[in-house]
Structure 1
Amino acid sequence: MRHAAPRTPAPHSAARAAVSGFAGLLDLALGDHCAGCARPGGRLCPSCARALRTPARPCRRRPGCPPVWAAGGYSGLERTVLLAFKERSARGLARPLGARLGGAVAAAAGHRDALLVPVPARPAALRRRGYDPVLLLARAAARASSTARMPGAPVLAHRRRVGDQVGLDRDRRRDNLTGALAVRDPAALAGRRVVVVDDVVTTGATLAEAVRALRDAGAAVVGGAVLAERR
């Protein structure tokens, strides 16, 4: 009886598997160390957790954006912990970071009921990471909130390819994103109070495109909430 020869994995599949395996080993190696200071004691030690308990603050106004609130800045400890969550597969940070984001969500919503709509990850970034960081943050923020709610299904979707925003200035970011997002089910959003959620706001181009798509669908976008404002 002849046996089929084992298939050789495609190069890109093998590369993804290698990256995923390395990330898993790194996660095990660092799992008992704080993402902020690297001291033993869990994903986020009490000292770093206290340092991150800052009140939400209003961001400077950006073209096309509603009032946006940030849980903090994008430097030092705040940046280190956020990058660990996004780039080092530290998914366990979603809960404390989401709770921190909750303050910005409440301020953006005016402490009234609102639907949280996370900015969706680019497909390439989603494949690379294996998860959507902003979606996890929004879910955690909703669980920590008494007024904010997550929709039952994804609201926004990419309808065309978008390049990486890193290194682009404001105008090029805007051109890169214009018309990139669409609402999956416009009828479900008509008249709903919405807060757009993202991890970092820089020029505001990403938030502005999300707001454009949501308002075109009839949603009442009352604000935006982010973990960090990058000035």
Structure 2
Amino acid sequence: MRGLREWWRDLTDLVLPAECGGCGRGRTVLCPRCRTALSGAAPCRARPVPEPPGLPVVHAAARYADEVRAALLAHKERGVLALTAPLGVALAGAVRAGLREARWGPGDAGAVRARGPVLLVPVPSAPRAVRTRGHDPARRIALAAAGELRRTGTSARVLAVLRQRHAVADQSELGARQRLRNLAGALAVAPGGDRLLCGGGPVVLVDDLMTTGASLTEAARALRAARAGAKSAVYPSSAGEGREERKAGPRMAGPNEGGGVIREAICAAVVAASPDSFEINRN
């Protein structure tokens, strides 16, 4: 009988998490308190300091601290895949906030449907990191977020078109400027991905975490270059585009941006951002 009890306990440990991914208590994926820390507040605009030039507008679901930090690390580094669903719900909330600010969200839902599904483009992990961890955390959470968006009425799909062009140094010990230099030119859109980007709806870069913003900045650069290349191939003369428009480049249309030259076609969303990134919202 004892052997049967031990076998049953081992089986339930495989099905149910042994502890909360945020605080370590109870037999649950996330306890109510940790779930509230992750998704209980409205997602906010996040801006790292210093803010890298070219960083798209970023919304984050939570601050990267305490229970949220523990949950993200458990998912990423320890492979606690039961956390994918709640992390995806949090990311979906940040995506919705970005779409609303860009005037693509529920207040303008018809525009989203007319353009096509929202395209979630995950920032890729380095191939060696994927091999070590056994999974790509950002892509896995993006798939969960797309499912949550569809469940709640927003057409969405994951478009994993970004690839690393060359190896980069480990970023953990690098400062903000060092990270920008380390990642400069490191990402590119896979062949054929430019057509998929131009043929769909709004593009939202997604990641699990933003600290300095270097990864999202480089990813946005690669997407903009691919979209510009695809459009110039189709419209080589850009007849409707004036010289000043080409010079100024895309800008986000939103309440704080004024009458931008053209609407920025890319925004970004993350599960969490460094606490300092939220200080901008106090002003």
TM-score bracket, shorter-length normalisation: 0.7 to 0.9
Aligned-partner Cα distance in 1 for 2:133–2:267: 28
Q: 1:148 to 1:208 in 2, by over 3 A?
A: farther
| Aligned amino acid, residue 182 of structure 2 | N
Greater share of residues in helix: 2
Q: Secondary structure at the match of 2:224?
A: helix
CA contact (8 A) 2:59 2:270 kept: yes
Extract unaligned runs of 5+ from structure 1: 1-26
Structure number with larger C-alpha Rg = 2
Structure 2 equivalent of residue 31 of structure 1: 17
Does the CA-based 8 Å contact 1:66-1:221 persist in structure 2? no
Residues 179-194 of structure 1: matches in 2 within 5 Å? Answer: 179-184=185-190, 185=192, 186-190=194-198, 192=200, 193-194=202-203
Distance 1:148 1:213, change over 3 A: farther
Query: Is 1:94 equivalent to 2:80 in the alignment?
Result: no
* Counterpart position of 1:115: 119
Could you tell me which amino acid in structure 1 is paired with residue 22 of structure 2? G
1:195 matched to 2:204? The reply is: yes
Partner of 2:115: none
CA contact (8 A) 2:60 2:270 kept: yes
Identity of aligned residues (%): 46
Q: Secondary structure at the match of 2:174?
A: coil
SS at match of 1:109: helix
Is 1:157 matched up with 2:163? yes
Tell me the TM-score normalized by structure 2.
0.67
- Alignment counterpart, residue 227 of structure 1, candidates 247, 250, 271: 271
Aligned counterpart for 1:204 among listed residues 213, 224, 248: 213
In structure 2, how many angstroms separate the alpha carbons of the residues matched to 1:177 and 1:148? 32
Aligned-partner Cα distance in 2 for 1:36–1:172:
31
Task: Tell me the SS of whatever aligns to 1:84.
Answer: helix
Contact kept? 2:34, 2:68, Cα under 8 Å: no
After TM superposition, the score normalised by the length of structure 1 is 0.82
Root-mean-square deviation (CA, aligned residues, Å) is 2.0
8 Å Cα contact 2:43/2:94 also seen in 1: yes
The question of whether the paired residues in 1 share the 8 Å contact of 2:165 and 2:187 is answered with: yes
